[in-house]
Structure 1
Amino acid sequence: MPTGSLSVVDKAKQDALTSYRGMWQDFVAAGTTSDWQSPKLGRYATGIALTNMSRALYADHYNGLVTKGEPTYEPSVSSVDPPDNPNKIVITDCSDDSRWLKYKAATGQLANDTPGGRHLINAIVQKQADGSWKVSEYGVHEVGTC
């Protein structure tokens, strides 16, 4: 293997982490207007993950809420399957949403007095038929889980 090139496993890990971060970046961007129909949501998410993001944004849209700010992430790969040529990667993250809060769209006032905090996130990222990697499922745990 030439110096500087990645192994199949390392490339898969890198691609999965890139897709995971991209999914959240697109979700954060859509949250500023609660755009539940944003075409960007499907760039890095599919299946249950995409459905859950769209539903959350639709609920905010319906309730007149937008989300402002930016969460932080610390994703890492916790498993690869199969180990020699992965098509499924599990990511574990600790995200801090204390600077990413919901506001009333009409007034710009905070929607509630919930401060946010650090959440454990587990996500499954799968290789797609076209070779891309997309998050297919994720679970965000309650504040204080990491």
Structure 2
Amino acid sequence: MARLNQLGRNGSRVVPAFLTICVALTAACTSSSASDGDRDKAATASGSENDKAATPTVAAAPSASASLDPAEAAKTDALTAYKGYWTEMPKALSVLAIESTDLKRYAAAEALGKAEASVGNLKRNGRITTGEPVVTNSTVTAAELEKKTPNVSISSCLDISKWKIVDKQTGMPAPGVSSPVSRYVVVSLMERWDGAWKVLKDDLHADQPC
């Protein structure tokens, strides 16, 4: 499987080195958060013409997640964390500091280690990233939720056309050969650690444009 543009001296378009291959804030990867509840409705008791209105009672509306079965709720939580990963990871590469982002909240193991290595690589070469990747069609393609450490696989379409490496001082694009394709399938493995979903690794399928 071909690898595209390792992050380093020759990359002008971003396929970071930590991706064996979503989130910046991307429209397609954005999932609307469930409403915490509708406005409380006051119920007034009917009475005689001379009676005072009864004291309103508050009816709590069930949250959207409460209507999901446990498996679907777990997948929804994983997709939300996946969105957070693709939001925070580009931030880390643009400011060259993992600690200035919430990436550790959403990444661990290989994914986090390669992100840290990529930040160091950019620093050594005097470069940063600009723009954002766009992650669309995020779908849970496999799930093992009954295991001691639950896991899911998520497949997405990664668009890097607006995500570039530039010289930190001049802002000019770094020289190098652009990727032959700018949209391809990425599959991520996630596990739930202490109730929080984290991306452990990403695999790019460069032979599967999307």
Q: By the TM > 0.5 criterion, same fold? A: yes
Q: Does 1:88 align with 2:151?
A: yes
- Contact 2:187 2:203 (8 Å CA) reproduced: yes
- Cα distance in structure 1, aligned partners of 2:201 and 2:185: 14
Aligned to 1:78: 141
- Cα distance in structure 2, aligned partners of 1:57 and 1:44: 17
How far has the Cα of 1:38 moved from its partner?
A: 3.9
The percent of aligned pairs where both chains have the same amino acid is 30
- Contact 1:44 1:135 (8 Å CA) reproduced: yes
Structure having the higher strand fraction is: 1
Structure having the higher helix fraction is: 1
Q: Does 1:64 align with 2:123?
A: no
Q: Does 1:15 align with 2:80?
A: no
Aligned to 1:135: 199
- Contact 1:8 1:85 (8 Å CA) reproduced: no
Q: Number of residue pairs matched?
A: 144
RMSD: 2.5
Structure 1: unaligned runs, 5 residues or longer:
none
TM-score (norm 1): 0.86
1:96-134 per-position Cα deviation (integer Å, ceiling 9, x unaligned): 000010101011100135266112211111111x21111
- Cα distance in structure 1, aligned partners of 2:107 and 2:190: 9
How far has the Cα of 1:33 moved from its partner?
A: 2.0
Q: Does 1:43 align with 2:105?
A: yes
Amino acid of the structure 2 residue aligned with 1:70: E
How far has the Cα of 1:142 moved from its partner?
A: 3.1
1:52-89 per-position Cα deviation (integer Å, ceiling 9, x unaligned): 11111211111111111111112111011147998110
Q: How does 1:99-110 map to 2 (within 5 A)?
A: 99-110=162-173
Structure 2 SS opposite 1:108:
coil
Bigger radius of gyration among the two:
2
Amino acid of the structure 2 residue aligned with 1:117: S
How far has the Cα of 1:144 moved from its partner?
A: 5.8
- Residue 124 of structure 1, aligned match among 189, 192, 197: 189
Structure ranking higher on relative contact order (CA contacts 8 Å, 6+ apart): 2
Q: Does 1:6 align with 2:68?
A: yes
- Cα distance in structure 2, aligned partners of 1:25 and 1:110: 22
